[in-house]
Amino acid sequence: MGCIFCKIAGNEVPSNKVYEDDLVLAFDDIQPMAPVHTIIIPKKHYLGINDLDDKEIWFAMLKAAQEVAKRKGVDKSGYRLVINSGEHGTQVVKHLHLHVLGGRQLESGLG
């Protein structure tokens, strides 16, 4: 499979890991849009949020977001969680992923 996130999860492509457990992996985005920009992926391939049917993985992703925020030092100042879905939602990599953004005042507009 040619999925870059599957390759990262399988340790075929290097990443700056921030958090990992049996179900999910968190790593720093290579093109950050904020001082803190970490991606959380399920290790199992899901095309997008509409394909996720496993509550345990969803909970693991949210738990990982909490841990990433602590490790990156933004748990007190605040951060944003973003999931892009599909073409109009600007999902670039077709593997479900959650962005953790923080480290500065973020724009409040939702577009």
pLDDT tens figures, 17-39? 999 999 999 999 999 999 999 99
Superfamily of domain 4-102: HIT-like (3.30.428.10)
Q: Which of 45, 88, 95, 97 is catalytic?
A: 97
Owner of token pair 């600007």: 90
Q: Could you tell me which residues come within 8 angstroms of residue 68 by beta carbon, excluding any fewer than 6 positions away? A: 18, 19, 26, 38, 40, 100
Q: Could you tell me which residues come within 8 angstroms of residue 43 by beta carbon, excluding any fewer than 6 positions away? A: 9, 22, 23, 24, 25
Mean pLDDT of 73-86: 96
- The whole-model pTM stands at 0.94
Q: In the chain, where are the structural domains located?
A: 4-102
Q: Which amino acid is at 95?
A: H
* 60-75 per-position pLDDT tens digit: 999 999 999 999 999 9
97 catalytic? Reply is yes
